[in-house]
Structure formats: structure tokens, C-alpha cells
Amino acid sequence: MSESSTLVATDAGTAAALPPLGYGAANVGNLFRALSDDEAHGVLEAAWEAGIRYFDTAPHYGLGLSERRLGAFLRTKPRGEYVVSTKVGRLLRPNPGGAGSLDLAHDFAVPADLRREWDLSASGLRRSVEESLERTGLDRFDVLYLHDPERHDLRTGVEVAVPALAALRDDGLTDRVGVGSMDADALLACAETGALDLLMVAGRFTLAEQPALAHVLPVCRALGVGVVVASVFNSGLLARDEPARDARYEYGSVPAGVFERVLRIADVCRGFGVSLPAAALQYPLREASVVSVVVGGSRPDQLRQNVERFDAPIPDELWATLVAEGLLPE
């Protein structure tokens, strides 16, 4: 392991605030389609030039490809000017049986020469961080998230992994710790431990649906847990002004009820001259506990456009109308 990839304690009190808009780097791990190294660098450079300074990755994304590409890019930037997070819970191990195939079962167009191995133990989490540091070549991560614990063993995630993650933070090895998940019940169970700084809520608090609103967000407010909202477009459904029936939704097809509601929301947005994706990007930050929105993108123009949408003016009357028509909760 290189010198730059050992776990290094950071000074207490140096945690930088999360920027309100971040880039989720699954796409540079070849999510859905393959990018060349140059194309991936172009996407990251476009994000940087547009002012994005928070970058989120994970070993899961492209079997480490996202971490390698993001690390190579960030090493060209001043370390004090960005915030970077990765995730723990899955280790990457050799997969001889995957030779000659791609990781398409997980939607990544990368060789399946590695496999994901769950390990929620304290030693497993520490190994995960060390290996992510090795892949990125960075000296530390500002934020560490436990990734999708409910997909393996939620009880172990709550009782073993969350305390172990908090111990890494308390030892000064990262600034903040959290849990990232698409499951509202798992997010709630982890938040209720009182040990976390952040929750990454993926797809559960969006313009299309808000299952995290009833229970998860009140606990976050009460405990002072910051919320990072990811999958703000619900995997693509909210990414266009005219929602498409064949759009991706949670990596699958769109339920009829959700699609009809989104069509009505799009009509209201159109009446106010507001882009549906702009409303989707800005809606989560109306909640007091939300500190950042993380959005993906596989092309430079998508990144530039999303930054413009994030800053576009939206009248309060739009939100009031959506509430009045029963399309958003109060």
C-alpha cells in the first residue's frame, strides 16, 4: 500500500461544509454505458468548471473504476478545495469466474474480474477504507457512508457497522459518517442510532415521491443529522421536461401511478415556465435537514445544464400550487 493510502487522522474541527450541489460519480464507473478514460475526465472537469466541489463515489460503482477515475482527477486539484465521500460495506475481491464477461447484472459496463463481498465488521470497514484510498490515491475521505446495509443484513449494519463507522470518525480518520440507502426503513433504523452525521437518501425524497418524509426526516431534524439527497431524478424519470413512459425509474420501469403524478407535476411546472428537472433538483433543499443534493451525469453538457437548473429561479407559487393540487405534501 502506498504512503498516500494509509489511514491518516485529521484535525478535529476541520470538517468542511458540504456544498449544496454534488456530483455522484457512478457514471464515470460506466453505469449503463462505457466511457473512455478521456470521456470520464471530461465529465469530471465539466463538473469542476461548473463549480461543483462535492464528489461522491463507491467501490460498488464499476467495481472500483469510479474510485480510480475520480481519484486520478481529484489529485490534480487543490485538496482544500473539494469534499469527497466514498462508501463501505462491500469489499472487492478476485472473481475468476467472471473472466470475459461484464458486470451488467449490476448495470456497470466493466469487466467482471472482481466481485463484491459483503463485510460489515469493524475490520472489514477499515479494510474497505484502506483499499479505497489505494484505488483513489487520496490521503483521506471527508465522508464515509455505509452502503445499502439492508441488502445484506440490516441488523448487523445497525448493531455492528454503524458503531464501527462512528469509531473511525471519532478516531479522526474521517470528518463525518453516514448511511446511504434507497430503503426508508433502513435509513430510519440507522438514523435512530444517534451515531451518524449524515444520511444519503437515494430516491426516497424527490419531487415524484417522498416516503422518507413521514418518519426519516423528522428523526434527522430531531438528532441534527444532515440529509444528502441522491437519485433526485429517480434514475431518469424527472430528468426531462416531458416525462417519457419508458424512462428509467429506480433502475426499472415506471409504476403507472407514479408516472401519472409526474405528468401532472410537469404540467404545473410548464404553466409557471419552470423546467421539471430544475424543480426536481431544487425541491429537496426546501426541507431544513437537507444539506446537499447529489446528481449524476455521463456527459459534460449534462453537468453544465444541471448546475444552471440548480440556480434557476422558481417562484414560491409553483410549490404552493403543487401542494394545493395534492401533488406534494405540505
Q: What is the CATH number of the domain that holds 159?
A: 3.20.20.100
Cα separations in angstroms, 21 against 66, 70, 164, 219: 19, 17, 28, 23
Query: Looking at residue 278, what is its pLDDT?
Result: 98
Q: Does some domain include residue 329?
A: no
Closest CA to 84 of 63, 127, 55: 55
**Rounded to two decimals, what is the model's pTM?**
0.93
Cβ 182 vs Cβ 202: under 8 Å: yes
Query: What range does the domain containing 143 cover?
Result: 3-234+287-324
Tell me the pLDDT tens digit for each residue of 18-35: 999 999 999 999 999 999
Q: Within a 13 Å sphere around the CA of 230, how many CA atoms are in the beta-carbon half?
A: 24
Alpha helices in the chain (DSSP H): 37-49, 65-74, 122-136, 154-156, 162-170, 184-191, 216-223, 256-271, 276-282, 300-311, 316-324
Number of domains in the chain: 1
Q: Does some domain include residue 245?
A: no
Dig out the grid coordinates for 215 from the structure: 418518519
Query: Looking at residue 56, what is its pLDDT?
Result: 98
Q: Does some domain include residue 330?
A: no
Q: Does some domain include residue 68?
A: yes
Cβ 46 vs Cβ 303: under 8 Å: yes
Q: Is 61 one of the annotated active-site residues of the chain?
A: yes
Q: Does some domain include residue 85?
A: yes
Query: Looking at residue 6, what is its pLDDT?
Result: 47
**Rounded Cα distance, 321 and 325, in Å:** 6
Q: Does some domain include residue 80?
A: yes
Q: Does some domain include residue 250?
A: no
CA-based Rg of the chain, rounded to a whole angstrom?
19
Tell me the pLDDT tens digit for each residue of 227-279: 999 999 998 899 999 988 877 787 677 888 899 999 999 999 999 999 999 99
Q: Does some domain include residue 155?
A: yes
pLDDT, averaged in runs of 10, over the chain (330 residues): 42 64 98 97 98 98 98 97 98 94 96 97 98 97 98 98 98 97 97 98 96 96 97 90 83 84 97 97 97 96 96 97 96
Tell me the pLDDT tens digit for each residue of 155-165: 999 999 999 99
The full DSSP string for 214-277 is TTHHHHHHHHT-EEEEE-TTGGGTTSSSS--TT--BTTBPPPHHHHHHHHHHHHHHHHTT--HH
Measure the CA dihedral 286/86/236/191, to 10°. Answer: -50
Query: Looking at residue 250, what is its pLDDT?
Result: 77
Q: Which of 61, 82, 145, 283 is catalytic?
A: 61
Buried b (16+ CB within 10 A) or exposed e, 186-213: bbbbbbbbebbbbbbbbbbbbbbbbbbb
